[in-house]
Amino acid sequence: MPRTSRSFRTAAVATLAALGLLATACGGGEGDSADSASDGKPVTLTYWTWTGGAKATVDEFNRTHKDIQVKFTEIPGGAEGYGKLANGVKAGNAPDVATIEYQMVPEFASQGYLVDLTKPAGGTVKEKFPKAIQDLVTFGGKTWTVPFDAAPQVYYYRTDLFKKYGIEVPKTWDEFRAAAEKVKKADKNVRLANMTKADPALLAALSWQAGGKWFSTQGDAWKPGVDDAASKKVAAYWDDMVKNDLVQTYTGWSPEETKARVEGKTLSILGASWSAAGMKTNLLDLKGKWAAAPMPHWGTPASGNYGGSSYGVLKGSKNVEAAAEFIKWITTNGDAVEARLSDPTKPSSALPANPEMRAVAAAKFDTAYFNGQDLYKLASEQVDTIVPGWTWGPNQMDVYTAIQDASAKSGFTGGVAAGQAKATSGIQERGLKLAE
C-alpha cells in the first residue's frame, strides 16, 4: 500500500468515528431533486468558486451540454467565501455546487450544509479516485463531496539568483536556515523566502510535514493537538527565523510580497502544486527563472497537504442529480481539465486528484515558465511523501482564525497555542466530547 494511502486512511478512520457523534452530520440529507425540466428547457445550476480556470470550464460544459446549463459566480476564498456559503444555506439561496476544501468538509458536513452524495456520486468517487483521496471526502459511510485536486507541498526557487549567491537547493530545514544566513550576509536587502503570519493553512502543512496531528480521536471523543510537540517545533523554528531577520513576513500575495519577488529580493516560495498558477500570473516577467523542488524536510523526505479541494452540493439544492453530473464531468473528463488549463485570465496548476487526469493536465500545462520542467511529475511524486495520521477538526475555520490573529501579535508559537485553545473550546461549545 502506498504511504499516502496509509496516511489518509488513518485520518478517515478517526474522522469517521467522530462524525458518527455529530447530531447534524447528516443534516443535509439527500436533497430534493427537481432535475427534470418538463417545459423542455435545460436544468440551470448555480456554481460558486474561487478556483482558477473555473469560468473556462463552465463555458466548455455549457457548450457541450444541452440538458444542463451552469451559471458561474466567483466568490472569495478562505473565511469570507465559506461565510457566504454558510449564510446562503441558512437563507435558502445557496448555490447548487460549490468548492469545499478538504479541511472544511468535516465542518460543513457536521453543520448540515452538505447534501449526502452517496447515491449520485459515491460510485464515481470509488471508481475514479485512489482510496487515499476518497478518505478525505467520505465519513460515516457517506460521500459528502467529490475530490478535485491533491496539494502536496512544493518548494519554488529562482535558479538565476541561487546561482548568483552560490546557494544549493536546501533539502532539510537546517540547510534552509544556513542558506538564509548566507543570503542575508551577501545582501542585507535580500532574503531566502517569505513566511507570512497570515496563512494558517501553510503553518498547518508545515506542522503536518513535521509529524504534527492537530486533531485525532479517542473512541468517540475529539483530541485537539494544535500545539503538539511537532507543531511547537515548527512554530519555534519560524519564530527564530523571524527573530533573526532571516525571512520576510509579508502577507501572502500582497503587493509588498509580489514586489520583493519581482525585484529579486525574495529567492524562493513555500508553496504547493497550485502555487504555480499564481506565479505565472503575478510574476509573468520572471518566466524561465523559476524551478520546483521537494519542500525541505526534517531529516526524512516528507510533505504535508497544503490545501486541496473538492466539489459539494449545498443543502437546499433542487437539482442534485444534475449537480452530480456536472461535478462528475469536472473531475473525470479530460475536456474539463483542458478547458481549466486554457484560461488565460485566471490559470490553474492544480494537480488533479483523479490520476487519469494528471497526464491530460501535464500535456496541456505550459512548462515554459519553469524552463521545461515537468511540474506535474514532481507534484505527483510528492503526494507519496505525505505524512500519515492527519485529521481535520470539526471547527477548523475558527481554529485558523485564532492562529492567524495570535500569530500576528505573538508569533507562531502563540498562534498554535491560541489554535489549541480555540479547538478545545469549540469542540465543547458544539456539544462534542473532548478526550481527557
CB 222 within 8 A of CB 433: yes
DSSP state of 166: T
Q: What is the DSSP string of 254-286?
A: -HHHHHHHHTTSB-EEEEETTHHHHHHHHTGGG
pLDDT value, residue 10: 37
Residues of the chain with CATH 3.40.190.10: 3-151+307-379, 153-304+395-429
CB 182 within 8 A of CB 167: yes
pLDDT value, residue 14: 42
CATH of 153-304+395-429, one of 3.40.50.720, 3.40.190.10, 3.40.50.300, 3.30.450.20: 3.40.190.10
Burial class (CB in 10 A: 0-12, 13-18, 19+), 170: buried
In this structure, the chain runs to a length of 436
Residues 6+ apart with CB under 8 A from 300: none
d(CA 405, CA 362): 38
d(CA 394, CA 72): 29
Q: What Å distances lie between residue 120 and 319, 326, 383, 386, 432, CA to CA?
A: 11, 11, 28, 30, 30
Q: The C-alpha cell of 103 is what?
A: 479541511
Q: The C-alpha cell of 132 is what?
A: 487515499
CB 362 within 8 A of CB 376: yes
pLDDT value, residue 39: 66
CB atoms near residue 156 (< 10 Å): 23
Longest CA–CA separation in the chain, Å:
72
Q: What are phi and psi of 114, to 5 degrees?
A: -110, 145
d(CA 89, CA 107): 14
Helix 320-332 vs helix 355-364: angle between axes, to the nearest 10 degrees? 60
Q: The C-alpha cell of 13 is what?
A: 478512520
pLDDT value, residue 66: 96
pLDDT value, residue 30: 56
pLDDT value, residue 17: 46
- Give me the CATH topology for the region 3-151+307-379: D-Maltodextrin-Binding Protein; domain 2 (3.40.190)
pLDDT value, residue 413: 98
CA angle 277, 278, 284 (to 5 degrees): 95
pLDDT in tens, 51-110: 999 999 999 999 999 999 999 999 999 889 999 999 999 999 999 999 999 999 989 998
CB 56 within 8 A of CB 339: yes
Q: Which residues pair with 187 in a beta bridge?
A: none
> Per-10-residue mean pLDDT for the chain, 436 residues long?
35 45 46 55 96 95 98 94 97 98 93 96 94 83 95 97 98 98 98 97 97 90 96 98 98 94 98 93 95 98 94 98 98 96 86 93 91 94 86 92 97 98 95 91
**Helix/strand/coil for 168:** coil
pLDDT in tens, 135-191: 889 888 899 999 999 999 999 999 999 999 999 999 999 999 999 999 999 999 999
